[in-house]
Structure 1
Amino acid sequence: MIHYLIIDDEPIAHRIIENFCNNLPHLEKVGNCYNTFEAMPFLNQNTVDLLFLDINMPKLSGFDFLKTLVNPPKIIVTTAYKEFALEGYELNISDYLLKPFSFERFVKAINKTINTIEDKNTKSALSVPETKSDTVSGFFIKGNKKHHQIHFEDILFIEAYGHYSKIYLKEEMIISPQKISTLEELLVGFNFIRTHKSFIVAKNKIKQIEGNRILINQYKIPIGQTYKATINTFF
């Protein structure tokens, strides 16, 4: 989960960004600040991965505020002033959105930013066993400020979810900050099979195969054309 903070003196800008973010389930708002002086104590007291930062604000501009931060989170600038873009990139911002911006352009900025956050957190987000043996029963995965213990036996299937993955278990579903390719490497040798570019299933949880679909409980998982031959060798 990416936790974001909006810093902008215009309430309508907050509403627009929030509405866009509501369509992206991997984003979670942690606060709203209407000037940079509000943001200073907020950042000291809360965990923030991403700032949506306006430039033109009273008393202390967005860029002047950014220069005061020792270890800033990722920054997406949202502004009506295109002439400050170069200065923004010199301050190592992730992207520069000119108001009014479309949802498509917003999503592009988010995807670009998430890639850099993932690169930073990959090693700390997933605890992978160094060796695989009969005594290894699962792994720990970080998500939403918690570490979840995942037992191999509880996994039904895994679904790619943008830059994340959904891990479907017997009793719940967990959204992981890891790409499905990372999880696939972890599951090698543990009775799992890739059935589609977006799906990995537990072979012992398959109820039946029907045409180009695999049935697991109430779920119907597609079989990709390029994976069909491999699946046929197992069944």
Structure 2
Amino acid sequence: MLNTLIIDDEPLAHDVIKHHFQDQLDFKTVGNCYNATQALRYLANHQVDLLILDINMPALSGIELLKVLVNRPQVIIISAYQEYALEGYELDITDYLLKPVSLQRFLLALDKVRRRLVKQPPSISNYIVLKVDRERRKFSFADITLIEAYGNYLKVWQGQQVTLVSSTLKQCLEQLPHSQFVQVHKSFVVNKKHVIALDNDYVRLSNDTAIKLGKSFKDGLHDLL
């Protein structure tokens, strides 16, 4: 299933695109943004596989949006202006369509998206998305020192900074790379890269926190340091 974000300042364009998508079961529209600012806010907290993008939008154009995105998904530009096509392809977009877009031409663009997926290995994310209050927030694996169970929540330690997130330790572990994170106690998961010392009872981390090792976890911690 390819998560798709539609970005266009014209509501009618969203309706046309949704209609073209209706029989494409391997694509899912996960959001609708009506300007680039909305799109940047959405992309800061969600991972998508495909952008359906307009060019001429208020404040920030579609091309300008692409230039500020660090990790760009595949992009299909749909615009009334053909003069931006070359610049779009220089930014490695998958296809460039002119409005009004026929169903047949749209389906050809989706086939290009599928072919690119076959050629490219799946990307490996370097972050986890967790719920903080009412928003979803990215936490870089490299920055996480320690994750601590705290009632119905978790404390995510990034050095000395602590963020309270809504999740269980089990749910969080399922999303973390096991090569980098290891559970050392029923209430603690540590990032191996932040382990600086280890003895029979404690592990000490780069933020100078000492974590007591759980008896049932000790046998599997020989390669922790």
Q: Shorter-chain TM-score: what band?
A: 0.5 to 0.7
Query: In structure 2, what is the equivalent of residue 71 of structure 1?
Result: 71
1:117 maps to a residue whose letter is L
Distance 1:12 1:52 in 2: 14
Shift of residue 113 of structure 1?
A: 1.1
1:14 aligns with 2:10: no
SS at 1:60 equivalent: coil
Distance 1:31 1:118 in 2: 25
Distance 1:66 1:23 in 2: 28
SS at 2:67 equivalent: helix
1:91 aligns with 2:103: no
Distance 1:123 1:59 in 2: 31
Distance 1:74 1:42 in 2: 16
1:103 maps to a residue whose letter is L
Shift of residue 38 of structure 1?
A: 0.3
Alpha-carbon deviations, 1:95-145, whole Å to 9, x = none? 000001111100000000111123224698xxxxxxxxxxxxxxxxxxxxx
Identical pairs, percent: 49
Distance 2:122 2:59 in 1: 38
Q: Residues 36-51 of structure 1: matches in 2 within 5 Å?
A: 36-51=36-51
Q: Residues 190-205 of structure 1: matches in 2 within 5 Å?
A: none
Distance 2:6 2:121 in 1: 22
Query: In structure 2, what is the equivalent of residue 113 of structure 1?
Result: 113
Q: Number of residues paired by the alignment?
A: 125
Query: In structure 2, what is the equivalent of residue 4 of structure 1?
Result: 4
Distance 1:11 1:118 in 2: 32
CA separation of 1:47/1:123 partners in 2, compared to 1, >3 Å: closer, same or farther?
A: closer
**Which residues of structure 2 form unaligned runs of 5+?**
125-174, 176-225
SS at 2:51 equivalent: strand
Distance 1:105 1:114 in 2: 15
Distance 2:15 2:116 in 1: 26
SS at 1:59 equivalent: coil
1:85 maps to a residue whose letter is A
Distance 2:17 2:64 in 1: 22
2:57 maps to a residue whose letter is M
Query: In structure 2, what is the equivalent of residue 189 of structure 1?
Result: none
Distance 1:30 1:47 in 2: 10
Distance 2:61 2:115 in 1: 27
CA separation of 1:104/1:44 partners in 2, compared to 1, >3 Å: closer, same or farther?
A: same
TM-score of the two chains, using structure 1 as the length reference: 0.51
Runs (4+) off by over 6 Å: none
Shift of residue 46 of structure 1?
A: 1.0
Distance 1:95 1:24 in 2: 17
